[in-house]
């Protein structure tokens, strides 16, 4: 079995490391990580075990024939990655292991074999080619996009399971994708705006914002036919407050990290996507709209700051 991982950052390299014990893997990553892996190996610590892995990696793809291709990049890079590697992706099984809504639709323009995936696990850089797995709130989910559970998916589930990663197959992957969107849209942008770890968002004023963001997202998802494991937005909010928030209390917003580094955030695939889909459905989502604009304003301010010449 041959697996290619495109856009391999902390998530993709960690996945490559685990899979390297059960199949042939190549990860496309930044040169500095590839150089370190070739010299010293990829070092993983935390919940997925402490080990050093060696596997093939570079900034390019050495061959064209792979059984499965994962895209693990930021959602903002999905289109460009699909364009760059269109000949390799065409007709292949391609898995989106990314945040937000819309990635699978983009990939589906380049191949007719799309698998959706979700994972709510904390992968934090400890250095070049060094990742600490700090949080794991459930198994990876894999399913055919837009729905279904066929042999191609089941074979992948077995491969991932053999590599020692918790994983389940689902016939309704978009339900899982939207479930992760609820979590990310509730905490990620507000954590960025306020510059605090997720645990601080249990404050009653922050929580009131989260309640409204989630209720709007829940409304849009249900209007699109999504069936959540929670009967109502309030039931999910209880789960978020009692389980997800405590388990990721020390986690810092990836949007804050992106803005601080001058990178574009994934807001248009999270709260921004909720707003866009709501408009098509004739629904109002003022809280998601407001926090989306806040993040875009923060992006713009950082971009201006980086353009200024140093005195």
Catalytic residues: 180
Task: Give me the residues paired with residue 262 across strands.
Answer: none
Rounded to whole angstroms, the Cα distance separating 86 from 59 reads: 16
Q: Which tokens is 268 given?
A: 């248009």
Which DSSP state fits 278?
Answer: H
Contacts 24+ apart (CB under 8 A), 88-93: 88/4, 88/61, 88/64, 92/66, 92/68, 93/67, 93/68, 93/69, 93/152, 93/156
Q: Which of 243, 242, 185 is nearest to 212 (CA)?
A: 185
Q: Collapse the DSSP code of 131 into the 3-class scheme (helix H, G, I; strand E, B; otherwise coil) and give the result.
A: strand
Rounded to whole angstroms, the Cα distance separating 32 from 45 reads: 19
Q: Which residue has the tokens 């900034």?
A: 59
Cα dihedral value 40, 140, 187, 175, nearest 10:
150
Rounded to whole angstroms, the Cα distance separating 95 from 115 reads: 5
């Amino acid at each position: 079995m041959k697996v290619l991982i495109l856009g391999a950052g902390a998530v993709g390299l960690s996945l490559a490391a685990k899979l390297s014990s059960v199949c042939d893997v190549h990860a496309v990553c930044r040169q500095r990580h590839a150089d370190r892996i070739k010299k010293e190996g990829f070092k993983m610590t935390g919940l997925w075990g402490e080990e050093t892995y060696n596997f093939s990696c570079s900034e390019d793809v050495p061959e064209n024939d792979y059984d499965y291709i994962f895209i693990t990049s930021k959602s903002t890079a999905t289109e460009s990655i699909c364009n760059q590697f269109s000949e390799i992706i065409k007709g292949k099984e391609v898995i989106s292991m990314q945040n937000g809504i819309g990635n699978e639709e983009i990939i589906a323009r380049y191949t007719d074999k799309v698998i959706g995936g979700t994972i709510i696990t904390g992968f934090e850089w400890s250095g070049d080619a060094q990742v600490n797995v700090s949080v794991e709130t459930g198994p990876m989910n894999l399913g055919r996009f837009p729905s279904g559970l066929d042999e191609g998916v089941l074979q992948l589930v077995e491969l991932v399971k053999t590599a020692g990663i918790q994983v389940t197959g689902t016939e309704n992957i978009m339900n899982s994708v939207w479930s992760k969107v609820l979590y990310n849209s509730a905490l990620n942008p507000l954590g960025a705006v306020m510059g605090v770890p997720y645990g601080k968002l249990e404050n009653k004023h922050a929580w009131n914002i989260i309640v409204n963001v989630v209720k709007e997202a829940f409304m849009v998802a249900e209007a699109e036919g999504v069936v959540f494991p929670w009967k109502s937005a309030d039931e999910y909010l209880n789960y978020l407050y009692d389980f997800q928030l405590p388990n990721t209390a020390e986690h810092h917003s990836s949007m804050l990290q992106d803005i601080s580094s001058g990178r574009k955030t994934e807001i248009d695939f999270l709260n921004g996507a909720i707003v866009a889909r709501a408009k098509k459905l004739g629904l109002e989502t003022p809280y998601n709209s407001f926090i989306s604009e806040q993040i875009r304003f923060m992006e713009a301010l950082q971009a201006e700051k980086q353009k200024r010449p140093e005195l």
